[in-house]
Structure 1
């Protein structure tokens, strides 16, 4: 699959700077995406960025759609390379997570569309759909957005059907600190929470979250949750270090979610992404519940 994707996008790369199919000269042709969320959203619309976040940085999180190597690298998202963006004469810059301060710097090069997915109103899944449509309209590809959203909804519905026999319907998603005492919980206002609702599950975290849908908490806070499945993001060595500490902890062994063997591993993914994050999480949730790997 990745080979076919690579061939497809390599062909598109050769056309970078020329009008892509479905484009009109009145729409921006040369688009930069200096963070993961903007990159995956543009790719989902069938458009290859002229300049993007680095492919290694993008792909190491398993982010989809696949981003081929060879596209000019915009640099670290916290400090994009303005000279490079000017060199490639970008006409539009698309971002999800880059700060307003950096956005103002980027505006010296080209207009910026900041996809407003994560905000206080909370429903990040619905907002990601709306913002994907807004970007598609800006670049002249509204039909591509509608096709993608319809395909995504069908994909989520199919996964929900596959999981209909799962009895435990409350799910909490978290990443563990290497010290084994703290965790970052991804709950309401996250795209993952919206996907859970779409699939007939319930976000297990009952506490508040910030606008990006996460909060930090102590492991001991899990003591009050006796009816959840905990999905632990696999962050490599940090997660392995946390597991070593926790497996030696009497407190950990007494937690209801641990005693009931409901702590499952889930591969890492871009948790602050655009709408394609919903498809990623759908697949990973389905795999975790149907083919569990225990912490």
Structure 2
């Protein structure tokens, strides 16, 4: 009886994959064996309680993602630049989930298992609706539609709580950035989840220059002079040589936001993340001491 119910739920949520071997194998299993080539999609599966069996760059999870904790036993399948095809074959996945960023390798991946690509980031608009759609679809694929909706609802509550807690930040504009090296930076704006969160919290972004389809601008350190004494957050991980040099950098020390004490370091948040990253960023903003 329970097996039949699981099979019915799987069929409902995976109509696009019915003609593939994925359907045949997943119908025989409580949950399909999934390899994720994207951190954000993996975050979502972990929140459902159905973590992937394989994931790209597992050692980098705690440099870039942080939340949720990475469960033990997930195999490392290489990096975005060099997927370990032998490991993928050994894991015998029912499905490989990815993003359009890796479409160039799709023909090779499809020799191992069906591939489902989720267009979330670099779509030229807010990623939030695409994150919601991917969350719901993943919930159907793994037979956890209620968990998917619960994750969406929880994120909405997190945003509402953070909105109430960040009223003191609404008094000035904010900028979110990361250091690439001592001279080059990445500043975030429209088209990314950081801007989505700022919008939902009704906070103003101090960075008004055009951003690319990924939601950031590549800039030089000197370009920050344009944000005046706005509050700026520079995210981890910060290269060690950069952090050591900030105190002695005449350019950095001359910035109005530094002189006003408005520059703060912030823990890492995955810029290309899914709902767990949205909640994490909102919470970190809510915890800022002004």
Does the alignment reach a TM-score above 0.5?
A: yes
Provide, for residues 121-153 of structure 1, a one-character-per-residue CA deviation record: whole Å limited to 9, x for no partner: 310122211221222233333222211111001
Shift of 1:62: 4.3
SS of equivalent to 1:144: helix
* Distance in structure 2 (CA, Å) of the matches to 1:209 and 1:152: 25
Q: Which residue does the alignment assign to 2:61? A: 58
Q: Which residue does the alignment assign to 2:164? A: 161
Q: In structure 2, do the counterparts of structure 1 residues 159 and 97 end up closer, same or farther at CA, with 3 Å as the change threshold?
A: farther
Q: In structure 2, do the counterparts of structure 1 residues 72 and 172 end up closer, same or farther at CA, with 3 Å as the change threshold?
A: same
* Distance in structure 2 (CA, Å) of the matches to 1:54 and 1:120: 24
Shift of 1:263: 0.6
* Distance in structure 2 (CA, Å) of the matches to 1:98 and 1:66: 25
Q: Which runs of 4+ in 1 moved over 4 A?
A: 21-27
Q: Which moved more, 1:249-258 or 1:275-284?
A: 249-258
Q: Is the 2:64–2:269 Cα contact (8 Å) retained in structure 1? A: yes
More helix by percentage:
2
Q: Which residue does the alignment assign to 2:144? A: 141
SS of equivalent to 2:148: helix
Shift of 1:101: 0.9
Map 1:255-274; keep pairs closer than 5 Å.
255-274=255-274
Shift of 1:97: 7.0
Unaligned runs of 5+ in 2: 12-22, 27-31
Map 1:87-236; keep pairs closer than 5 Å.
87-96=90-99, 98-179=101-182, 181-226=183-228, 228-236=230-238
Provide, for residues 16-47 of structure 1, a one-character-per-residue CA deviation record: whole Å limited to 9, x for no partner: xxx8x967564641111133222112112221
Shift of 1:113: 1.9
Q: Is the 1:188–1:203 Cα contact (8 Å) retained in structure 2? A: no
The alignment of Structure 1 onto Structure 2 pairs a total of residues equal to: 268
Give TM-score scaled by structure 2 length: 0.83
SS of equivalent to 2:167: coil
* Distance in structure 2 (CA, Å) of the matches to 1:93 and 1:140: 16
